[in-house]
Structure 1
Amino acid sequence: MSSALTRPTAAPAAAARDVTVRHRTRISDLAEVRWAVAALALFLLALPPYLLDAPAWTWAPPFALAYAAGGWEPGWSGLKALRDRTLDVDLLMVLAALGAAAIGQVLDGALLIVIFAASGALEAVATARTADSVRGLLDLAPATATRLTGDGAEETVPTERLRVGDTVLVRPGERVGADGRVLDGASEVDQATITGEPLPVDKRAGDEVFAGTLNGTGALRVRVERDPSDTVIARIVAMVAEASETKAPTQLFIEKVEQRYSVGMVAATLALFAVPLALGDDLRSTLLRAMTFMIVASPCAVVLATMPPLLSAIANAGRHGVLVKSAVVMERLGRIDAVALDKTGTLTEGAPKVTDVRPLPGSGLTERELLRLAAAAEHPSEHPLARAVVDAARDRGLRVPAADGFDSAPGVGVRATVEG
């Protein structure tokens, strides 16, 4: 085996981390967040003088600016929907806030604007984090791979240029650049990102490997068997992206009745205003009654309580390595009472550790002596279980002797319990 096959490098892993950071959306870059923060700041600026009965010029301008900052975007969206002959909740919210101001409830209207703007900002943040989770999954696959040419030379190429039948070299510490099959070499590969298994899997000639998985201490020659656009990690990314665009049954139901409900509410508000006024009621009390009904009957809270929480849940699950198939699945999870799993590996931390040390009867060793000797024997190994034994000895303050020259006493047995 040539020296090129054993030269370790950590550059690809670092590059993948850099790409992930570069793709992460900053909350301050979202327009919805900036407008919501501006509306909240203006509301808080106007609140003290308003509550202290200060002159109107001290609180009216900040309140007006808060209305504009938090309400212009949903108002514009509502007007565009109205142009398409639909009535949505955004326009109703703005009308309700303006109606509150019209009857002298400036504080209530401004608070409604701020709440609606904040909910829109939270939805934008949740959506951006979902997109970041998807991009983070895609970044698990390295940007480049080392392709071997027909004469044995090496060339670094973007992974999207790999084709079925190409041979790539995966050095220790690198991520596999494509789905394929091992032609030569032996190593352990961390496949947790694909299979969820907590321990690395031994790979030898003939075994299958997946793009985005992390190679261990050996070098592998891999023949590409799938196009980069059809790798397992690419299909997982596509599924997560589709999940963020699906709609839960609750949201579909609300969208189905939202249009009719909005039209009915506007008609009822106009009736509450026009009928008493036609029967001789005074303008102020009639307007107050109609606007109060509009504010109370507005479906803003119901609409805002559906998709933002689901998006946030999908994004949070993606950041913790849980891939949610759709918003429908996420909503059904809320109604689950019991779960049965057939794989213990998916319920563990993926980091084995020693929990008990039990010398065999008649060995003449204490637990500390046995652990010290076991750590000496396992010290040269890089296996995760060996690392767990060595770490346990060090955590207990034991001096781990060199393994060279260590001879186990006849009849000494070891039994240890290791938890993952």
Structure 2
Amino acid sequence: MSESLTKEEIKAYRVQGFSCAGCAKTFENNVKKLQGVEDAEVNFGASKVYVQGHITIEELEKAGAFENLKVRDENEPKAEHIPFWKHKENIKVYIALILLVASWFLGNQLGEEHPLPTIGYAASILIGGYTLFIKGLRNLSRLQFDMNTLMTIAVIGAAIIGEWMEGATVVILFAISEALERYSMDKARQSIESLMDIAPKEALIRRGNKETSIHVDNIQVGDIMIVKSGQKLAMDGLVVKGTSTLNQAAITGESVPVTKTVDDEVFSGTLNEEGLLEVRVTKRVEDTTLSKIIHLVEEAQAERAPSQAFVDKFAKYYTPAIVILAMLIAVIPPLFVGDWSTWIYQGLAVLVVGCPCALVVSTPVAVVTAIGNAAKNGVLIKGGIYLEETGNLKAIAFDKTGTLTKGIPAVTDIVTVNGNENELLTITAAIEKGSQHPLASAIIRKAEEKGLNFNDVSMKEFQSITGKGVKAKINNELYYVGSPSLFEELHNQIKTNLKEKMTHLQTTGKTVMVLGTETEILAFIAVADELRESSKAVISKLNHLGVETVMLTGDNQRTAKAIGQQVGVSDVEADLLPEDKLTFIKQLRGKHQHVAMVGDGVNDAPALAASTVGVAMGGAGTDTALETADIALMSDDLNKLPYTIQLSQKAMAIIKQNITFSLAIKAVALLLVVPGWLTLWIAIFSDMGATLLVTLNSLRLLRIKK
């Protein structure tokens, strides 16, 4: 919907029964004309209609009566699943088919001249094509040429020239083709429909001393939710009591359970596998992570891919061109060779073969299927355009901290020069306790792991030395903690053997912090941001896929180069400020055109925005990542990246196959006009066959797994 409309002004409804994008557009136009409606927009991929204004479901269903559409409130549960073969719209096809077979049998028994078979064929045409004719004639009166118009002209024309049986066959095969389209789109949408059923609709809530089962719509922020072993969480929240393992596959796509304890964030739709948890609700049901995922994926399905825009534009000119071609075939040859009946028949066959069903459905089914599959595997793709762009990527830039690395510095080496290791670490931790430096936390954590009582150490005259370190007095001794350059200033130079050890640690990607006095160095501690276990394998896979990989970091060149070599990236860019990252992304786009940036979605926002595709890590629970990125990896798992690229490349290949096949099969069928071999049978089978193969080809995307 238009961005100017507020959330409160718009009401969303789910629609069942769309068979094609054209029908969705007709429904949208019908709804816009209803009294009380200011604006309306249909999302064909998600099968939803957004209405601004006051309207009833009965009025909406009346607007969709031409397609027998069923409408329900967005939050209303689905009606009981009806098997495909039992759908009401398919029953008339069965009746028409029985009449066709019976008429053919009577024609063989009574002879072709007998009126009874013709009456049977006419009844079959009317019953099977009733809705088709209404839509086709209405469009014809407005000079709108879509597939319904083409089929209506072809069937009526076949009846006029006496080809009753072929006219009835065309009607039935077209109805079957539409039913298969409807089935394939429903199948593609099922991945999203299944997400909606993940979270329970009620939860056990404690208010005061009373525990009650309450519907999620009535649960308030701050309520205490009790989740027993084997139950799914209905709401997002923070654990206030208990420890358990949760299966978060529905949100992050990872099937390995995660341990959750007090103060940990938990998400609706996840499964509590072991203990009893008490969770303080932090979001209303419409704001939960699962609700956001469903909303974003449904919006993504409405975003048209560039190839879809091409198909829509092509079909706009293609369909009228087919009508003109059919008229020329029906009229011009008989002027020279006579035999009007034969050439009119050929013209009608051209109308049928020209029906753009397969072409129109070639892209949306593939896009909806791929986006749905990605969502089930913990990857949010914001639209068809990003799906296509990801399939075309030539380079990926990675932020280092928190993306290729864990983002949590850890002490890797403690080298003592003079004194006891634990005593020196206690002094260092006591001084760093007052520091704001990010590496200080690593030293404090190490001291805590060793059980050292650094909090009991009395410290005086603490002072920060900007950009170099800190100093403080302990037991009347002045100690310094800082970079090697600080001690080069204090001591004029560092002993050669110590400098060599420090340099060696730095070349392996570690940051060295030194503890000493004004006269001597007592110890030095190496701190490193640990690599993610998956980083090296992921970079290797991406290089194998032919994608250039670049690491961007604010770290010094030596540390950055060491980490870059460890993970195997093609290029390393160090000492970068946020604006430098932005400049580099622009340069990379100038070189490759299709470039992705992978970051945390907060610090890297400018670079993410400047790239062709911005990919945010750890989208679960991070609203910023979900909102700013074009693609969000719901877990902190880089392995999702090669999967996303492979899925996108496969989707691109399938879309190209679909478009090529749709056009090729029509071109071959049209060439049969030259020797006069094109029949209505061949025409409808080529159209229906193409539609069926295109949809089945698209549904192959459901099989791609991480």
Task: Give the alignment's TM-score, normalised by structure 2.
Answer: 0.40
Equivalent in the alignment of 1:396: none
| Superposed displacement of residue 214, structure 1 | 1.0
- Aligned residue pairs, count: 328
1:343 aligns with 2:615: no
| Superposed displacement of residue 83, structure 1 | 4.8
Of the candidates 263, 267, 277, which is equivalent to residue 324 of structure 2? 267
Query: Which 5+ residue runs of structure 2 have no aligned equivalent?
Result: 1-75, 394-540, 546-636, 644-706
| Superposed displacement of residue 297, structure 1 | 4.0
Residue identity over aligned pairs, in percent, reads 27
1:193-212 alignment runs, 5 A limit: 193-212=250-269
| Helix, strand or coil at the partner of 2:92 | helix
Equivalent in the alignment of 1:216: 273
Is 1:86–1:259's contact at 8 Å kept on the other side of the alignment? no
Query: Which 5+ residue runs of structure 1 have no aligned equivalent?
Result: 1-18, 348-420
Equivalent in the alignment of 2:132: 74
Equivalent in the alignment of 1:141: 199
Equivalent in the alignment of 1:241: 298
Rounded to whole Å, the distance in 1 between the matches of 2:184 and 2:296 is 18
Deviations 1:212-265 (A, max 9, x none): 111122111111112210111112222333344444444433322323332233
| Structure 1 residues 301 and 68, CA gap change in structure 2 (3 angstroms) | farther
| Helix, strand or coil at the partner of 2:268 | coil
Rounded to whole Å, the distance in 2 between the matches of 1:102 and 1:323 is 55
| Superposed displacement of residue 43, structure 1 | 3.4
Supply the AA of the counterpart residue of 1:198. Answer: S
Supply the AA of the counterpart residue of 1:141. Answer: A
1:157 aligns with 2:214: yes
Task: Give the alignment's TM-score, normalised by structure 1.
Answer: 0.64
| Structure 1 residues 238 and 79, CA gap change in structure 2 (3 angstroms) | farther
| Superposed displacement of residue 88, structure 1 | 1.0
| Helix, strand or coil at the partner of 1:178 | coil
| Superposed displacement of residue 200, structure 1 | 1.6
Is 2:304–2:385's contact at 8 Å kept on the other side of the alignment? yes
Deviations 1:79-100 (A, max 9, x none): 3334554221211012123323
Rounded to whole Å, the distance in 1 between the matches of 2:348 and 2:115 is 25
1:73-152 alignment runs, 5 A limit: 73-149=131-207, 151-152=208-209
Task: Please identify which structure carries the higher strand content.
Answer: 2
108-117 vs 283-292, which moves further: 283-292
Is 1:171–1:219's contact at 8 Å kept on the other side of the alignment? yes
Rounded to whole Å, the distance in 2 between the matches of 1:174 and 1:275 is 73
Equivalent in the alignment of 1:167: 224
| Superposed displacement of residue 158, structure 1 | 0.8
RMSD: 4.0
1:20-419 alignment runs, 5 A limit: 23-28=80-85, 30-50=87-107, 54-55=111-112, 56-57=114-115, 59-149=117-207, 151-275=208-332, 281=338, 283-303=340-360, 305-307=362-364, 313=369, 317=373, 325=381, 326=383, 342-343=638-639
| Structure 1 residues 207 and 299, CA gap change in structure 2 (3 angstroms) | closer
| Structure 1 residues 200 and 308, CA gap change in structure 2 (3 angstroms) | closer
| Structure 1 residues 110 and 250, CA gap change in structure 2 (3 angstroms) | farther
Rounded to whole Å, the distance in 1 between the matches of 2:377 and 2:95 is 34
| Structure 1 residues 125 and 244, CA gap change in structure 2 (3 angstroms) | farther
22-31 vs 93-102, which moves further: 22-31
Rounded to whole Å, the distance in 2 between the matches of 1:62 and 1:242 is 47
Rounded to whole Å, the distance in 2 between the matches of 1:117 and 1:332 is 36
| Helix, strand or coil at the partner of 2:209 | coil
Rounded to whole Å, the distance in 1 between the matches of 2:217 and 2:178 is 37
37-46 vs 90-99, which moves further: 37-46
Is 1:67–1:110's contact at 8 Å kept on the other side of the alignment? yes
Rounded to whole Å, the distance in 1 between the matches of 2:264 and 2:139 is 56
Supply the AA of the counterpart residue of 2:202. Answer: T
Supply the AA of the counterpart residue of 1:168. Answer: M
Deviations 1:12-55 (A, max 9, x none): xxxxxxx9896535425534333334444433444445567844
| Superposed displacement of residue 187, structure 1 | 1.0
